[in-house]
Amino acid sequence: METEKVVMTQSPGLLKLAELAKETSSERRRELLRDVTDLYFSTQATCSDVESEHFGEILAIVTQEMHKEVRKEMAGRFAKEPVGPLQLLRQLANDEIDIAGPVLRHSPILQDTQLTDIIISGRQQHMQAISTRGALSQGITRQLIEHGNDQTLVTLVSNHGAQIDRPSMQTLVARSEQVPALQTPLVEHPDLPADLMNDMYLFAEEKVRARILARNEEIDPKLLQQAFSQAKTQITKPTDTLPTGYPAAHSEITTLQQQGVLDGTQLLKFERDNDRLKFTLGLAALAKIDYQTVDRILQRQDVNGLALICRAIGFDPSLFTTIALLTSKDEQSNMGNSGKLRELYLAIPEGAAGRTLRFWQMRQKFEGEKLA
């Protein structure tokens, strides 16, 4: 055979490869495979292109024919090496997860093309292994977000070496409303834009909300301004249908505000008169945010969200407590008694609440500009 003639006229390394290719005994093959692998690593500096090609071909063919423990051993040997036969590594990366895992997590030989092929195959355990790599390009993270299940996405977002672009972050933030396990790693990821983080406050779990407020206090003012500028171009108009009577109620609230008589006392009057529409519009007007955001908080009986708005406006704790109890469908279940509501309210840092509200105000402002 011509290939064999070439092999036989080359170095001792290729002669060893020829011996491995001819061997039929599985035990002897395993011994030779180890020897050839050792030889591969020891001769990289002097190995010709022809020899490297033969090494890769024979190692891949023989490894594929060996039982699981041998393939697993080969994966462990090559997983973190800076050099290695691409054919062999692709083969190992597509093997069962016990074998593929180390290669998918660590091999620098595998590039985006090979990783994409594996992601598209739809095997979640393989995707989860890829999601832990020390560095992931935006292209690969987009593929993982498109094809990954919830567990894969949690693994991905927990990896701060994964580069995630804004559209992908928007997808993840939206998904995190239904998948709470995504919320904590999302808030901690360095690529999460500040405005999207603050949008998460509307639905995040209590511990995540506390972290959002803490991160707001940590944001450098210059970076905060950059975040506002970036978010300005990303604002989208709410699509929620407005309730019957909205135009007239909105006009009345605008008039009261212009007259300087729209305040917390007036809000209480609206709520006591069972006029939830005007109460909602009035609170939105005082906070300078959109009606839909306030309505969503009230519909969900979200006392934490209501507290943040009132805290940022600067309402007295007693006023907030009264509002919270009045707007609750069940006063007994609304965070218990007045004392607990007051504690909840005062636990929210006023400055951090103001920063979150500012993002919501910015959304309201730029939506208005787009509609003008």
Domain finish residue from 54, 88, 110 = 110
Question: Structural domain tally of the chain?
Answer: 2
Assess if residue 337 is contained within a domain: yes
**Tens digits of pLDDT across the chain (372 residues):** 444 444 434 555 555 555 555 555 467 777 777 877 887 787 776 777 777 777 778 888 888 888 899 899 999 999 999 988 999 999 999 999 999 999 999 999 999 999 999 999 999 999 999 999 999 999 999 999 999 999 999 999 999 999 999 999 999 999 999 999 999 999 999 999 988 999 999 999 999 999 999 988 887 766 666 666 665 555 444 556 789 999 999 999 999 999 999 999 999 999 999 999 999 999 999 999 999 999 999 999 999 999 999 999 999 999 999 999 999 876 554 445 788 999 999 999 998 899 899 888 886 665 554 443
| Nearest residue to 107 (alpha-carbon basis) of 87, 88, 84, 79 | 79
Domain finish residue from 110, 132, 150 = 110
Q: How many CA atoms lie within 13 A of 216 on its CB side?
A: 26
198's tokens: 């603050």
The secondary structure of the chain in percent helix, strand, coil, rounded to multiples of 5, reads 70, 0, 30
Q: What pLDDT shows up at residue 232? A: 54
Burial (Cβ within 10 Å: 0-12, 13-18, ≥19) of residue 121: exposed
Helix orientation angle between 303-313 and 317-327, rounded to the nearest 10 degrees: 150
Backbone angles phi, psi at 22, to 5 degrees: -85, -25
Judged by phi (left if over 0) then psi (alpha if -120 to 50, else beta), residue 314 lies in left
Burial (Cβ within 10 Å: 0-12, 13-18, ≥19) of residue 196: buried
Q: What pLDDT shows up at residue 19? A: 57
Q: What pLDDT shows up at residue 4? A: 42
| Nearest residue to 356 (alpha-carbon basis) of 239, 210, 254, 232 | 210
Between CA 108 and CA 267 the distance in angstroms is 61
Q: What pLDDT shows up at residue 164? A: 98
Using CA atoms, how far residue 212 sits from 177, 218, 287, in Å, is 15, 10, 19
Q: How many CA atoms lie within 13 A of 92 on its CB side?
A: 35
Domain that holds residue 21: 1-110
Assess if residue 168 is contained within a domain: no
**Distance linking the first and last C-alpha atoms of the chain:** 79
Assess if residue 31 is contained within a domain: yes
Q: Are 325 and 338 in contact (CB under 8 A)?
A: yes
Q: What pLDDT shows up at residue 362? A: 80
Assess if residue 357 is contained within a domain: yes
Q: Model's pTM, two decimal places?
A: 0.81
Assess if residue 12 is contained within a domain: yes
Residue 43 per-residue DSSP state: T
For tokens 């594929």, name the residue: 64
Assess if residue 258 is contained within a domain: yes
Domain finish residue from 110, 126, 148 = 110
**Which are the contacts of 155, defined by CB distance < 8 A and separation ≥ 6?**
128, 131, 132
The β-bridge partners of 136 are: 162
Q: What pLDDT shows up at residue 192? A: 95
Burial (Cβ within 10 Å: 0-12, 13-18, ≥19) of residue 175: middle
239-286: per-residue pLDDT in tens?
567 899 999 999 999 999 999 999 999 999 999 999 999 999 999 999
Assess if residue 287 is contained within a domain: yes
Residue 66 per-residue DSSP state: S
Assess if residue 279 is contained within a domain: yes
Using CA atoms, how far residue 151 sits from 21, 131, 144, 159, 209, in Å, is 42, 10, 11, 13, 22
